[in-house]
Chains A and B, each alone.
Chain A
Amino acid sequence: MSKNKSLLGELWDFMMIRKAWWLAPIIIMLVLVGLLIIFGQSSALSPFIYALF
């Protein structure tokens, strides 16, 4: 592995070489949750919307 690879790059290499595909859903979920937490913060422009009923 090259020295300058990012964390994600190294993780990708690890998955490819070790064929650890089971790691993919965990990584995807972590990235997705991270993005949702950053961009999905409560807004003052929200109307009264209900998640269930």
Chain B
Amino acid sequence: MNRKKSEAISATKYYKNFFLLFSVILIMLLFFEIALRLAYPLYSNYNTEMWRYAKEIKALSSNPLIAHEHKPNAVSFLYGTEIKTNSIGWRDYGYDVTTDKYRIMILGDSITLGWGVDFNYTFPKILERLLRENNPNIEVINTGVGNYNSEMEVNSFLEKGSRYNPDMVVLAYYINYAEITHKNPNAIVYLLQKSYTYSFFSDKVINLKINLFKQNQFKNFYSALYEKDFEGRIHAKKAIDLLAEYAKKNNIPLYIVIIPEMHSFDPYPFQEVTDFVMQAASKNNIAAIDLLPYFKGNEPRTLWVSPEDAHPNAFGQIIIAKGIYQNIFKENPIFASNT
């Protein structure tokens, strides 16, 4: 009888302790979440701001080949600048497609979007101003979405962009376009989008891997994307083929512009990536323009948005715009006339 009684007491004690431990963990996480929300400006950085970008501007797409897209008419102040989307979900003006204008559509990722750069200093807008000096009837449309690869860009263009009747398409290719398209389950994304604790820890884990374990540093990370038979590389090539086929079928001029990786211009460690894109373009009879020569002579970090973030700043965006202008438009009489 006594034994049974003492067993019951020890079981009650066990449950009591377990409940206490569970409550402490829960209360602690709650306090941690509140503290992180209050102290956000003190620790925000590139990773946490990219998380906030996903939380406030992006939404999951119903098309698994696009994975995610911008919400229409969204606005947020991110990484030192305002990012505002139009009714289509692009960081651009609202366009009236019924007007008779020459529309150049730029497909790209966070570089095209102008991450960390004011709207007027994104390269599509700089290019638009350059072209409008000679011809005010030109529109350069920025369809860039952060974390897009070429598969997502091309599928987003076919689903959305092509409806706006572009007269020319420019694919602004960056080295990470061979990444695999990830599809996250909705419920998990919903939770992760809300949690500052997740944002804080994921940032630290990403940096820990780079700093301590030397994993995911830009050289090995990007080189791995272009290993023979890597799925993302195959998808990137297929996406270029698909876009070229569409352009040919609809008689739309298509150009690929290769934006160099921003850590080292001379020597440039990713020439094989440039060659890969050049070959993919050449097989489809598309002109591909390598912008690396325009960046050479500059110290890479002077063109970064911040010391931790290699996205091109306003100077970098100007170089991209000028490179595109000189290669595609400068000698072309259509863009020099006032018609």
By a beta-carbon cutoff of 8 Å, the part of chain A in contact with chain B is 21-22, 24-26, 29, 36-37, 39-53
By a beta-carbon cutoff of 8 Å, the part of chain B in contact with chain A is 17, 20-21, 24-25, 28, 32, 45-48, 50-51, 54-55, 58, 60, 67-68, 109-110, 146-147, 176, 182, 184, 189, 192-193, 198-199, 201-208, 210-212, 216-218, 221-222, 263, 301, 307-308, 310-311
Identify A50's interface contact among B147, B204, B212, CB under 8 A. Answer: B147
Q: How far apart are the CA atoms of A43 and B184 in the complex, in Å?
A: 26
With A40-B211, A44-B307 given, is the CB distance from A50 to B50 under 8 Å? yes
B176 touches A48 (CB 8 A): yes
Q: Is the interface of B mostly helix, strand, loop or mixed?
A: helix
Closest Cβ of chain B: how far from A52's Cβ, in Å?
Answer: 4
A37 touches B204 (CB 8 A): yes
A46 touches B207 (CB 8 A): yes
With A22-B24, A29-B32, A53-B67 given, is the CB distance from A47 to B205 under 8 Å? no
Closest Cβ of chain A: how far from B19's Cβ, in Å?
Answer: 10
B189 touches A43 (CB 8 A): no
10 additional A-B pairs beyond A40-B203, A46-B310, beta carbons within 8 Å, are: A39-B211, A40-B205, A42-B45, A43-B207, A43-B308, A46-B210, A47-B217, A52-B51, A52-B184, A52-B189
B176 touches A52 (CB 8 A): no
B193 touches A52 (CB 8 A): yes
Q: How far apart are the CA atoms of A41 and B20 in the complex, in Å?
A: 34
Identify B206's interface contact among A21, A26, A49, CB under 8 A. Answer: A49
Chain A residues positioned under 8 Å from B308 (CB to CB): 42-44, 46
Q: How far apart are the CA atoms of A29 and B32 in the complex, in Å?
A: 10
